[in-house]
């Protein structure tokens, strides 16, 4: 029996939406208040969805303790309480939540051995969330 499991994680990070390829006016008109030179922060809610067959003995798709430790080590410790603009991950890309969502998926996909990684969903605010299930690169 194939099933899906979605696990939620919380982290906080700051960013400034600003592209070096655009003028100051283009940045202001594109990103509005999110282009504030001092940046701004979010309390992100990350959802990681995996799928697989339910192990008949254990009754689970994957061990949640192992999954939680992996996400903590690979994602949360990397981004929690960080300024995304200062990280190598966003040296060439604008740290939009769309790009952050893609980065997180790609980080998880590289060493994921627990089940099939279906997608990640990243909620930036009550009104904005983004999903990514693979298939393209971070855009600049």
Catalytic residue set? 34, 81, 124
CA gap 53, 86 in Å, rounded = 40
Contact 131, 120 (CB under 8 A): yes
Torsion sign across C-alpha atoms 140, 11, 45, 116: positive
Burial class (CB in 10 A: 0-12, 13-18, 19+), 7: middle
Phi, psi of 23 (to 5 degrees): -70, 170
In 3D, which of 133, 121, 115, 107 has the Cα closest to residue 46? 121
Task: Tell me the sheet residues that pair with 15.
Answer: 40
């Amino acid at each position: 029996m194939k099933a899906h499991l979605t696990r939620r994680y919380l982290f906080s990070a700051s960013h400034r939406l600003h592209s070096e390829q655009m003028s100051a006016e283009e940045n202001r008109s594109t990103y509005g208040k999110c282009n504030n030179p001092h940046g701004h922060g979010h309390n992100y809610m990350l959802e990681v969805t995996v799928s697989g067959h339910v192990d008949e003995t254990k009754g689970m798709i994957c061990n949640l303790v192992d999954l939680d430790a992996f996400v903590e080590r690979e994602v949360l410790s990397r981004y929690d309480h960080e300024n995304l603009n200062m990280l190598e991950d966003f040296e060439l890309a604008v740290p939009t939540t769309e790009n952050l969502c893609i980065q997180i998926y790609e980080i998880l996909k590289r060493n994921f051995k627990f089940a099939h990684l279906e997608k990640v969903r990243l909620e930036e605010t009550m009104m904005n969330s983004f999903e990514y299930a693979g298939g393209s690169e971070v855009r600049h």
